Amino acid sequence: MFYSGYTSYNFIPTENQYIDVKSKNRNIAFFNWRNSDLPDYIKADSTIIYIEQKLW
């Protein structure tokens, strides 16, 4: 997305979607994550990138 060739979504992945992404060795990042109630399977992953900047 954003003309970069990377995929992005506007929702928090389900646990099955999360497992699928992780099994493909992809990185996960969240924008503006403090306003979201993140599930435990995401909170427990120390490899997730949290970006606090707003894009708009």
How far separated are the first and last CA of the chain, in Å rounded? 16
Overall number of domains in the chain:
1
The model's pLDDT over 1-56, given as tens digits with 9 standing for 90+, comes to 456 777 788 888 999 999 999 999 999 998 866 667 889 999 999 999 988 876 66
Q: And the tokens for 45?
A: 């992953």
Distance of alpha carbon 54 from alpha carbon 47, whole angstroms? 21
Instruction: Note down the domain range covering 9.
Output: 1-56
pTM of the model: 0.74
